Amino acid sequence: MKNNRWHILLLASFLIGCTAFMGAQNLASFEKRITVKTLDNGLTVIVCERSEAPVFSFFTHVDVGSDREVPGITGLAHMFEHMAFKGTDKIGTNDYADEKGALENVERAYQAYDQERRREVGRDDKKLAELDKAWKDAMTLAQKYVVENQFGEIVEQNGGRGLNAFTTNEETGYHYSFPSNQVELWAYLESERFLHPVFREFYKEREVVHEERRLGESNPFERLFEQFMATAYVAHPYGQPVVGWPSDLESFSMTDAQAYYKKYYVPASMIVTLVGDVKADEVMPVIEKYFGRLPTGPKPEPLRTVEPPQNAERIVLIHETTQPIFIEGYHKPSARDKDDAVYAAVQDLMSNGRTSRLYRSLVRDKKIAAQTGGFNGFPGNKYPNMFVFYAISTPGHTPDENRDAVHAEIERLKNEDITDEELQMVKTRAKADLLRQLGDNEGLAYQLGFAQSLHGDWREIFRHVDEIEKVSKADIRRVANATFVESNRTVAMIESTQLATAPAAGKEPK
């Protein structure tokens, strides 16, 4: 793993007296502390030694999210993520031999019910009620074998903290932290949940996930973003909500979830990253022993669908009693594109803090927004994605005013070079921001696994900063002119039916 070239660079940096960024925490130091190994079954393991305290954190990154879902099964990747907390054939059951049969009965009963439920013509309501009852009775029988939430209980009882998981439009992640003497228990639990998952309480959990969707629906931003994405994407699955459409959450089956899991949860799509008070030469054999049991499967072929170029502006307008929100997005290349660092620089310049252009225009000077910003890489990174701007207006101001002010700043970016000071600030901040991400096991485990998954190399965390260092004023104008054009734009706004009245203006500055 080690590369002598970096030691030479390190030495050189001391000679030229640049100490702040090249001290103990540069790529060279991480090269020494990081071990990467690809197991025989294709699973990638990253171990980063950091002995601050006798604990470690991990992330399991799986290279699939809702991006492989098609109509009818939206929300399924996220559903599997929930099932990965339901235990195995040994965890969460008091008698797996009998439970297995009971779960098969649940699934048969559900299929029969669902087939009748979705019959468009000639549906027999009496029969449907019987099938519904049979399905629910089967669930009640299966419930007898369940030891509730035992997987989480074992983690917590043994000192685990922060047990959680997430699903995005392109990946799924599982994580928690343990005291450092629990490496073997962790390796057992984390491999077993993917080796022998049991989809118990599937249809109860589907209800839970639907409740999760409803909580999202309660938030005006989420309502708006769902419509925004569905409008901005006509072909690519980025347009589908990760949590799934309501009809699909009421329809998809345990069989569907098993098929998705079997196809996409292959070791070649999984990266396990461990960071903390561990020694690679001690933990790697343990990890290999447990995770090596996952059966090899073919890595799924890459997604075929590519979003076609947008040819006209699209607008979503929602009328609500909630106060106005403005967002707009522009299609742009994936994070693997050579211009990714340029977009990152644009994001920093436009929206990082009180020196940012959007803050100074919309919040400080025009006083039409309380918050505003722009971010690169929505809703993901793996595929061509969007650069999104947003503004939250102050009372009495409309999203139209926000839009015009954002557009004025975009035009400035396209037509004028940014200043030397701005460019230098962006570069200095990129380096410091990287440093600020390195002092935490959990954050590091996420970053390393994410970079490994997206770019095939954890070193990209460091190289990204080098790429930002190379960004020129011309790059920024070039990218802004290529991206921020009307035909490539999708706007989404909440226009308030009860716009708040602006309080009388305070004393204005002299």
Site for other proteins in 449-468 (CB under 8 A): none
Pairing verdict, β 314-320 and 489-496 = parallel
**Structure-block tokens of residue 241:** 């909500």
If binding is defined by CB under 8 A, does position 250 make contact with other proteins?
no
Minimum CB separation from other proteins for residue 53, in Å? 4
Minimum CB separation from other proteins for residue 406, in Å? 17
If binding is defined by CB under 8 A, does position 215 make contact with other proteins?
yes
Minimum CB separation from other proteins for residue 131, in Å? 19
CA-based nearest residue to 162, from 58, 52, 88, 65 = 58
Over the window 167 to 196, marking each residue x when it contacts other proteins by CB under 8 A and - when it does not, the resulting string is ----------x-xxxx-xx--xx-------
Tell me the DSSP string of 399-446: HHHHHHHHHHHHHHHHHSPPPHHHHHHHHHHHHHHHHHTSS-HHHHHH
Minimum CB separation from other proteins for residue 370, in Å? 4
Minimum CB separation from other proteins for residue 357, in Å? 13
Stretch that binds other proteins, among 72-80, 129-137, 154-162, 483-491 (CB under 8 A): 154-162
Under rule CB under 8 A, how many of the chain's residues touch other proteins?
Answer: 97
Q: Sheet harboring 489-496: ordered strands across?
A: 314-320, 489-496, 325-332, 385-393, 369-378
Single residue of 167, 253, 347, 393 touching other proteins by CB under 8 A: 393
If binding is defined by CB under 8 A, does position 201 make contact with other proteins?
yes
Stretch that binds other proteins, among 65-73, 203-211, 231-239, 247-255 (CB under 8 A): 203-211
Cβ-proximal residues to 304 (8 Å cutoff; 6+ apart), any chain: none
If binding is defined by CB under 8 A, does position 285 make contact with other proteins?
yes
If binding is defined by CB under 8 A, does position 431 make contact with other proteins?
yes
Single residue of 137, 148, 404, 466 touching other proteins by CB under 8 A: 148
* Element housing 189 (H / E): helix 183-195
Minimum CB separation from other proteins for residue 473, in Å? 17
If binding is defined by CB under 8 A, does position 30 make contact with other proteins?
no
If binding is defined by CB under 8 A, does position 448 make contact with other proteins?
no
How far apart CA 498 and CA 321 sit, in angstroms, is 5
Minimum CB separation from other proteins for residue 312, in Å? 31
* Amino acid occupying residue 5: R
CA-based nearest residue to 363, from 411, 387, 397 = 397
CA-based nearest residue to 389, from 320, 316, 330 = 330
**Structure-block tokens of residue 294:** 């996952």
Query: Contacts with other proteins in 51-70 (CB under 8 A)?
Result: 52-55
Single residue of 71, 72, 395, 456 touching other proteins by CB under 8 A: 395
Minimum CB separation from other proteins for residue 383, in Å? 28
If binding is defined by CB under 8 A, does position 220 make contact with other proteins?
yes
Query: Contacts with other proteins in 314-373 (CB under 8 A)?
Result: 320-323, 353-355, 363-364, 367, 370
Q: What is the 3-state secondary structure (H, E, C) of 191-252?
A: HHHHHCECCCCHHHHHHHHHHHHHHHHCCHHHHHHHHHHHHHCCCCHHHCCCCCCHHHHCCC
Radius of gyration of the chain (CA): 26
How far apart CA 444 and CA 57 sit, in angstroms, is 9
15 vs 20, beta carbon nearer other proteins: 20
Single residue of 10, 112, 141, 154 touching other proteins by CB under 8 A: 154
If binding is defined by CB under 8 A, does position 207 make contact with other proteins?
yes
Q: What's the sign of the alpha-carbon dihedral 79, 80, 81, 86? A: positive
